[in-house]
Structures are given as structure tokens and as C-alpha cells.
Amino acid sequence: MHIINIDRITINHAGRVIYRDLSWAIGDRERIGLVGPNGSGKSSLLRAVAEQITPDAGSVVRMRGIRVGFLTQDVSLPSGRTVLEEALTPPAPLAAVESQLTRIEARLGDPAVYGNPDRLAAALTQQERLLEEYERLGGSAHTTRVRALLVRLGFSPEQFDLLTDNLSGGQKKLVALIKLAMEAPEVLLLDEPDNHLDLNAKRQLEEFIKTYPGTVIIVSHDRYLLDEVATEIAELSDGKLTLYKGNYTAYTTERELRRLRQQQMYTAQQKEIMRIEEAIKRFEQWARIVVNERHFKQARSRRKMLERMEANGEIIDRVIERRRMDLQIQ
């Protein structure tokens, strides 16, 4: 089941076309590694999926009710707050309910309300409805879940009181990831989430990605991470997106097989094109020597054949060496 459909989008940046007519159907509960050379537009594609930028052409359509959380490469957290305080920042819907509950509690302490049976009954009914919504949003379990997730992603209870100002870049990303996870979006976009993490934190991140109850799209330079978590690789290169089933190792194997097949088909087609072009020359030469209209027709027929192949996009591209993707094994 496809939950996000990208249909023939074009994105330009600084006067350069990053990609044109790019399409991508993103499925439910997939683990997708998005790879490609530096500058190929991976972050821009994530921003388009997150609807942070609007394509210059084409469309990005989400299934109704699908929410997207985006962890960007560079994360900044408010200063002067502890790890636990920042991680406990409630998602917007929960924060809204908490705010309404605070106002209701204040009203219930107002003599004009508790001294009036009708007003009191109305306030209590509203409070009951808000408390039900608070429970539905996981409000009473919020603190427990955040603490558990902090530990799961490598924070010790002693680190809960650390100021976010003193965290490493990798630790700040983990706190931001926890806040995103508590919003429970159906799609998580992670732009280099493993940067500046130590080995243990990376292993914890892998387990989090594997068990997240939704779709996760990861941009990473760590081949080991992509081997461990990815069920599909989306390669973005030269403005084109190509999909491969399996993890990173399966992708590299299949990519080389496809490139080999393409090169073989290209070579065979080029030989056929050369044969046709030589036939055209022969027919044209014979037609001029003997002034034979039949030879002219045969030459024109073969030339039209080549023109149709080009017009229909049937000319196979030569395999070119791709730009290096700088993937690491860690």
C-alpha cells in the first residue's frame, strides 16, 4: 500500500535542475535507504516529502491521515534546559489538551463557576472530555515512555539532568529524534541521523529504526547501518531515482548486474545502429550511381527507423562511471 506518491516532480536550486519528472511511490512500514553522490539532491527530496519545499512542477500527495516527521542534518535545541525537560516537550496535540485542562482547572477554582450549578456541570463535562482525549494521546504515560526511550537510545539516568548546551551534536540529534518519535508520525525522515554517534549509540539507533511502527527513510553514509536496517535502497543520481529491493549489499550487487546488462544491450544496439547507418550509406550511393528510386526509399525507410527509435526513447544510454558516494563501513 502506497502512503505517499511523488508524481513527476521537478526541483530547481540556484539555477540548476536537481531532478526533472522524478516519481516515487512510498509504501507503508518500509525501511528505505536513500543514497546518492553528494549534491544529488537527497536532502531536497526529503524536504519535498516533508512538504517543507514545493516542487517547481509535479506533486507530492499523502494518503489522508499520514503524518511525516523530519529529522534534519543540523539540529538545534533550546539552551538552559535539561535533557529530560527537552525530551518531555509534548507533541502539539498533547500540549494543546494540557493547556485546555489548565484553563479548566482555573475555571473550577472560580467562585463564579463552582458557585453556579449549571456552569460547574458544564466545566466538569468539558474537563471529563479533555481527560479522555489526554489519555487517548498517551498523556499519562508520556513521561514514562520518554524516560524509557532516552535509556533505549543510550542516555543513562544520570545524564537526564545534563544541559542540552553540553551535549554533542549526535546526542542533540537523539533528543530531537525522541521528540519526533513521541509524535508517532506514520513516516520518519532521517537525514544522516548517525552523524557524530559512537558505536554503541549507532547500535541503539539501528534497533530503534528496525522496530519503529511506520515507514522510515534514512540518508546515511554508513554502509553497515544501511545493511542492518534497509529493506529497500533508493538511489538518487544524475537526476534519476532508481529503486532496489534489499539492503545496501544487495543493492550494490544488483546495481552492478543492471549496469552490466545495460552495457551489453548498449553495445549490441550500437552495433545494430552502425549496421543500419552503413546500409543507408550504401543505398544512397547505389541510388546516385544508378538513379534508382527504390534505393532512395530504402535509405529513407531505415533513416526513419533510427529517428523513431530516438523519438520514442529507445536509444539505450551508455553506462558511465557514477560519482563516488563516500559510503563508510563503521
Parse the chain into domains and list their residue ranges: 2-77+141-246, 91-136, 267-311
Instruction: Look at residue 59 and tell me whether its pLDDT is greater than 90.
Output: yes
Report the alpha-carbon angle 161-165-167, nearest 5. 75
**Percent of the chain scoring above 90 in pLDDT:** 68
Is residue 266 within 8 A of residue 317, CB to CB? The reply is yes
Q: Cβ–Cβ contacts within 10 Å for residue 17, how many?
A: 12
pLDDT at 64: 94
Using pLDDT thresholds of 50, 70 and 90, give the confidence band for residue 283. confident
pLDDT at 249: 95
pLDDT at 328: 52
**Residue 11 to residue 17: CA distance in whole angstroms:** 6
Find the mean pLDDT for residues 153-173: 94
Per the prediction, the chain carries an average pLDDT of 90
**Residue 1 to residue 13: CA distance in whole angstroms:** 32
**Percent of the chain scoring above 70 in pLDDT:** 95
Using pLDDT thresholds of 50, 70 and 90, give the confidence band for residue 272. confident
pLDDT at 241: 95
Flag the least confident range among 27-36, 142-151, 153-162, 320-329.
320-329
Flag the least confident range among 167-176, 276-285, 287-296.
287-296
Instruction: Look at residue 260 and tell me whether its pLDDT is greater than 90.
Output: no
Name 158's Cβ contacts closer than 8 Å, sequence gap at least 6. Answer: none
pLDDT at 291: 64
Name 96's Cβ contacts closer than 8 Å, sequence gap at least 6. Answer: none
pLDDT at 151: 94
Find the mean pLDDT for residues 110-114: 89
Query: Which of these, 123, 173, 112, 175, lies nearest to 149 by C-alpha position?
Result: 175
Name 61's Cβ contacts closer than 8 Å, sequence gap at least 6. Answer: 4, 5, 7
Find the mean pLDDT for residues 90-95: 94
What is the model's pTM? 0.79
Instruction: Look at residue 252 and tell me whether its pLDDT is greater than 80.
Output: yes
Of the candidate CATH numbers 3.30.1310.10, 2.40.160.50, 3.40.640.10, 3.40.50.300, the domain formed by 2-77+141-246 belongs to: 3.40.50.300
- Local structure of 7: helix, strand or coil: strand
pLDDT at 329: 46
Find the mean pLDDT for residues 262-291: 80
pLDDT at 300: 81
154-163 CB burial, b ≥16 within 10 A, e <16: bbeeebbeee
Cell 508524481 sits at which residue?
A: 7
pLDDT at 127: 94
Using pLDDT thresholds of 50, 70 and 90, give the confidence band for residue 322. low
pLDDT digits (tens, 9 = 90+) for 62-80: 999 999 999 999 899 999 9
pLDDT at 144: 96
Using pLDDT thresholds of 50, 70 and 90, give the confidence band for residue 327. low
Find the mean pLDDT for residues 43-60: 95
Find the mean pLDDT for residues 288-312: 78
pLDDT at 104: 93
pLDDT digits (tens, 9 = 90+) for 189-243: 999 999 888 888 999 999 999 999 999 999 999 999 999 999 999 999 888 999 9
Bridge pairing between strands 2-13 and 16-27: antiparallel
| Helix, strand, coil percent values for the chain (each to nearest 5) | 50, 20, 30
The amino acid occupying position 220 is S
